[in-house]
Amino acid sequence: MDETTVVVTGGTGGIGRAVADAFATEGAAVVLGARDTAALEEAVDDLEASGATVTGVRTDVRDEFDVERLMETASRVGDAGGIDVVVAAAGVYHGDPGETPIDGESYAAFDDAWRTNGRGVFATIAEALPHLNEGGRVLVPTGAIARNAKPGYGSYAVSKAGAEAVARAFAADTDYVVGCLEPGQVATDLTGGTGRDPESIAEMFVWAATAADPEAIDGEIVGLREWKQATR
């Protein structure tokens, strides 16, 4: 993936960090966006120590001006210019997974979940569009909770459903490939550390960004089964 520029929001932990590592291993120039400056600096140092080409930009996806700066910076990283892949992995969960019924949530928690997980995906894609190269792809991590309601997931489930809708709308209204990847339950802070190792599913994102049939990704939700079948 030399000459490829990849932007990852939420790139300092969980799925975002694992995906950033996977793209860096493939030779891509990786641009990380995250809110925590110390964690961002640590992630950049670790990746650079492994020989990766990496840039960190302090980014709060709730702030479209932050996201605009992230994308403008990323577009200047590679010699060829522009952005080839965007992974919108930034996300929050207020409370313990399965213990946040929507009838007990505050307006503040609901608003922040939506601003980060839903509107944040909108801002990430919208600000990336002017810089995407021909054939550029945008990948949005998602989960079954966005479509299959379970008790106790409240605004998080609502916001993930919104993120999927945002991705489908961009897929319909633009010429770029925009799709959602559902890697199953992954052990992150958002899931209370329960699930499969993020590193075990990171290659799914590399595949979706490079080898997957664009028609199978665009406006679709692609799961582990589709990935494994396609890569047997």
Going along the chain from its start, the domains and CATH numbers come out as: 5-230 (3.40.50.720)
Q: Quote the percentage of the chain above a pLDDT of 90.
A: 83
- The distance of Cα 156 from the centroid of its chain, to the nearest Å, equals 15
Inter-residue contact 31 to 73 (CB < 8 Å): yes
Report the residue count for the chain. Answer: 232
- Which residues is 88 bridged to in the sheet? 9
Interval 141-147 mean pLDDT: 93
pLDDT computed for residue 71 by the predictor? 98
pLDDT computed for residue 185 by the predictor? 80
Give the model's confidence band at 186: pLDDT under 50 very low, under 70 low, under 90 confident, else very high: confident
For the chain, give the mean pLDDT: 93
Asked if pLDDT for residue 202 goes beyond 70, the answer is yes
Inter-residue contact 228 to 182 (CB < 8 Å): no
pLDDT computed for residue 21 by the predictor? 95
pLDDT computed for residue 158 by the predictor? 96
Interval 67-84 mean pLDDT: 95
pLDDT computed for residue 187 by the predictor? 60
pLDDT computed for residue 45 by the predictor? 96
| pTM exceeds 0.85, yes or no | yes
From CA 210, how far away is CA 136, in angstroms rounded? 10
Asked if pLDDT for residue 34 goes beyond 80, the answer is yes
Nearest to 116 by CA among 55, 167, 64, 188: 64
From CA 149, how far away is CA 127, in angstroms rounded? 31
Asked if pLDDT for residue 195 goes beyond 90, the answer is no
Give the model's confidence band at 189: pLDDT under 50 very low, under 70 low, under 90 confident, else very high: low
Which has more pLDDT, 112 or 225?
112
Nearest to 102 by CA among 140, 157, 49, 59: 157
Interval 1-19 mean pLDDT: 92
pLDDT, tens digit, 9 for 90 and up, residues 46-70? 999 999 999 999 999 999 999 999 9
Burial class from Cβ neighbours inside 10 Å (0-12, 13-18, 19+) for residue 56 reads buried
Asked if pLDDT for residue 190 goes beyond 90, the answer is no
Asked if pLDDT for residue 120 goes beyond 90, the answer is yes
Inter-residue contact 87 to 205 (CB < 8 Å): yes
Burial class from Cβ neighbours inside 10 Å (0-12, 13-18, 19+) for residue 37 reads exposed
Q: Quote the percentage of the chain above a pLDDT of 70.
A: 95
pLDDT computed for residue 198 by the predictor? 85
Which has more pLDDT, 150 or 125?
125
pLDDT computed for residue 191 by the predictor? 62
